[in-house]
Structure 1
Amino acid sequence: MRALLLASALLLSAPALGPAPAMAQAPDTPPTAAAAEQGFRVINRTGQPATALHAVRSGRPDWGNNLLPRPLPDDAGYRLRPNPQAGCRFDLRLVLQDGREAVARNQEICAQRDVTLDAGMVAAAGSIVRPSPEQPTAPQALPRPGVRAATGTGFLVAGERVMTNRHVVDGCDRVLVRGPDGRNHAAVPPARTDARLDLALLTVPGLSGPVLAFRQDPPVRRGEGVVAYGFPLTGLLSSDAKLTRGEVNGLAGLRDNPDQIQISAPVQPGNSGGPLLDMQGNVVGVVVSKLNAQAVAGRTGDIAQNINFAVKGERAAAFLRAAGVSPAAARSNGTDRSAADVGEIAERATVFIRCEK
């Protein structure tokens, strides 16, 4: 039976092979109490004018568009009004007249209505300045050239803890995890694993950020919309994450596997270990495999189309609790979000995994 399963299900680890603005803007003058009542302000106290201002959700790997319609003088402020879905934590950057930058990361703008970037935060263009308190600067773990590598996906379930598939990290000499901010971190062995569920829990020092919540209720139903998020076909497709949408087709996996659900959201090698979310952004599964269409065609003469599987969310949550991690939980009884909104939730907590052998 095990040989048949391996012939019929294809595990999805892979050999190693920009968005709309979140801001409305308005020019402003130096700080006053009244100016803090709406949105938040970025105040330039660097000693020279700023030619560009960038403000993005914390953890986003790029800086997005310049928000300034004209240079911002020294000792002046610029008001930003984030969209409600953007959250409260932002990374901010001023590009100065001489080409240098002032950067402040992980700013809590819901409580701190004035964010000042001063001369002590200025560095050469491209430098990383003033990391968040939760993420102190540390040497970045870099991929090693000339080694065999495979890739997969994972997601944050607690501070410095990442869930993925066991087969993504099985037999690795080193596991690198690239966080949403683009920095690489080395996972610390050993991983906590479950061979039956094909799940693994990694400890990744220095990696922090929002976690994804597991759906608590109601039970998942056939026909529900789902979103798969991950890093398929690395080296062939672009290096950014990919989102696919589909439905829950069945409440069991291959040969009535009670630990899995069947989904139609397209997945490819590299999606393994990525989150499967419902349309409210809560985890209902962990992507694990797709049906091996070639093997099925050889046995039946028919080509199976878009048959994919995920470990059930409740099984994954129970695995975490057994490993000493209390997963975040949420009810999915509100209004469904768009796939794009669900993708933004996933983006903040989904990581790229590189297994070096």
Structure 2
Amino acid sequence: MRNISLAILLSLTLAAPAGAQAPPPTPAPAQAEPVRIVNRTGQEATALHAVRSGRPDWGSNLLNRGPLPANAAFALRVNQDAGCRFDIRMVLADGREGLLRDRDICAETRIEIATAAAPLPPVAQARPNQNARRVSSGTGFVIAPDRVLTNHHVIDGCGRILARTADGRWLAATVQGQADARLDLALLAVPGNPGPTLAFRTTPAVRRGEGVVAYGFPLSGLLSSDPKLTRGEINAFGGVANDQTRFQISAEVQPGNSGGPLLDMQGNVVGVVVAKLDSRRVQNVDNVNFAVKGETAQGFLRRLNQEFRTAESRGADKSAADVGDIAHRATVMLRCEP
């Protein structure tokens, strides 16, 4: 319902001894001022959603009492102790949407949505070629609208690249700009809204021993086609031969994980899963895995003039399940057909 707050005060008193002065009543804590979300689109809005940043869905429509007229405001109260970063979505009567991401609504008392983009035309789904041979698969994740980051080796030599989204659609993908074989990174254009974006972590600096989650599609031809989550730690700040563009991690990965996100326990990207050490070639070594550092991936995207989201990782850690929920809608399986 439309943000109606009811405060019920129950006063329990204990009779004071005769002659004793009753203590003054304790004042009720002041309520924080609501943030007002103003519709400046020129049309009435039929839906308004406000969820904490990173949530995989938009939750319920706050306008359950009717549309929000143009220039009208909706008052939203939040529990600041539970977090202040919100994603806000306003849907207009003609189907257009206005989106605001990662807004600090504890610091802003008034948020105006002035314009809304036209709804995108539907993109025809691609279909996997069931007769294709020597098909391989990997993982990618959404870093901007219709843009997916993955490893170079996942898409190298592909005649056709398909991305399967979290909602089960197959979309055609093409390499955007110049892939980097040395860093093992590639940017893909995937029209059709493959999912919400993940944010790269900016601060604080990643530490050894910090918990991380790897998310992707390992061994999809052998195991189920569902994504898999593994958790572990940052073990070292260098890869094979002291490669400073990579982390060594204990989160176990397998073929097919390549290109997937490595997330901290706030759900922000700290790396791109890239490889594991082959225990068949290196004796007495097991579960040694690597990821391209997040700062390296950011530098790669900047060279392509590709915008992306960043965020600080502050506050209490989330559970691995919550981090997985954040990653799920933004992570795609990539299919490489010759």
TM-score between both structures, scaled by the size of structure 1? 0.64
Count of residue pairs brought into register by the alignment: 247
Q: Deviations for 1:27-78, whole angstroms, at most 9, x for unmatched residues?
A: xxxxxxxx4447xxxxxxxxxxxxxxxxxxxxxxxxxxxxxxxxxxxxxxxx
The code of the aligned residue for 1:317 comes to Q
The code of the aligned residue for 1:113 comes to N
Q: Deviations for 1:118-174, whole angstroms, at most 9, x for unmatched residues?
A: xxxxxxxxxxxx999755433210100121210000000001100000000000000
**Greater strand fraction, Structure 1 or Structure 2:** 1
- The answer to whether the aligner puts 1:292 opposite 2:278 as a matched pair is yes
Contact 2:56 2:325 in 1 (8 A): no
* Match in the other structure for 1:184: 170
Once the 2 structures are TM-superposed, how far is the Cα of residue 88 of structure 1 from its aligned partner?
8.4
Q: Deviations for 1:185-233, whole angstroms, at most 9, x for unmatched residues?
A: 1013455311111000001111243211111011111100000000000
Structure 1 residues 60-79: aligned runs within 5 Å: none
Cα pair distance change 1:190/1:89, threshold 3 Å: closer
Q: Which of 113, 120, 144 is 2:64 aligned to? A: 113
* Match in the other structure for 2:30: none
Structure 1: any 5+ residue segments left out of the alignment?
A: 1-34, 39-81, 91-107, 117-129, 298-302
* Match in the other structure for 1:203: 189
* Cα distance between partner residues in 2 of 1:197 and 1:209: 25
Cα pair distance change 1:157/1:37, threshold 3 Å: same
* Cα distance between partner residues in 2 of 1:83 and 1:323: 31
**Greater helix fraction, Structure 1 or Structure 2:** 1
Cα pair distance change 1:115/1:243, threshold 3 Å: farther
- Larger gyration radius, structure 1 or structure 2: 2
Contact 2:148 2:189 in 1 (8 A): yes
Partner-residue secondary structure (3-state), 1:345: helix
* Cα distance between partner residues in 2 of 1:135 and 1:173: 27
* Cα distance between partner residues in 1 of 2:299 and 2:307: 9
* Match in the other structure for 1:339: 320
Identity over the aligned pairs, expressed in percent?
55
Once the 2 structures are TM-superposed, how far is the Cα of residue 240 of structure 1 from its aligned partner?
1.1
Q: Which of 286, 308, 311 is 1:330 aligned to? A: 311
Structure 1 residues 311-326: aligned runs within 5 Å: 311-326=292-307
- The answer to whether the aligner puts 1:243 opposite 2:243 as a matched pair is no
Q: Which of 145, 150, 154 is 2:136 aligned to? A: 150
The code of the aligned residue for 2:149 comes to M
* Match in the other structure for 2:252: 266
RMSD of equivalent CA atoms: 2.7
TM-score between both structures, scaled by the size of structure 2? 0.67
The code of the aligned residue for 1:184 comes to W
Cα pair distance change 1:114/1:184, threshold 3 Å: farther
Contact 1:229 1:243 in 2 (8 A): yes
Cα pair distance change 1:205/1:275, threshold 3 Å: same
* Match in the other structure for 1:277: 263
- The answer to whether the aligner puts 1:175 opposite 2:161 as a matched pair is yes
Stretches of 4+ moved more than 6 A in 1?
82-86, 130-133
Structure 2: any 5+ residue segments left out of the alignment?
A: 5-49, 68-94, 98-117
Cα pair distance change 1:182/1:191, threshold 3 Å: farther
Q: Deviations for 1:267-305, whole angstroms, at most 9, x for unmatched residues?
A: 0000000000011111110000000111112xxxxx211
Q: Which of 147, 151, 162 is 2:148 aligned to? A: 162
Cα pair distance change 1:345/1:294, threshold 3 Å: same
Contact 1:152 1:271 in 2 (8 A): yes
Cα pair distance change 1:139/1:199, threshold 3 Å: same
Contact 2:147 2:188 in 1 (8 A): yes
Contact 2:2 2:62 in 1 (8 A): no
Once the 2 structures are TM-superposed, how far is the Cα of residue 348 of structure 1 from its aligned partner?
1.7
* Cα distance between partner residues in 2 of 1:83 and 1:158: 19
* Cα distance between partner residues in 1 of 2:183 and 2:193: 25
Structure 1 residues 131-150: aligned runs within 5 Å: 134=119, 136-148=121-133, 149-150=135-136
Contact 1:88 1:109 in 2 (8 A): no
Partner-residue secondary structure (3-state), 1:168: helix
Cα pair distance change 1:310/1:203, threshold 3 Å: same
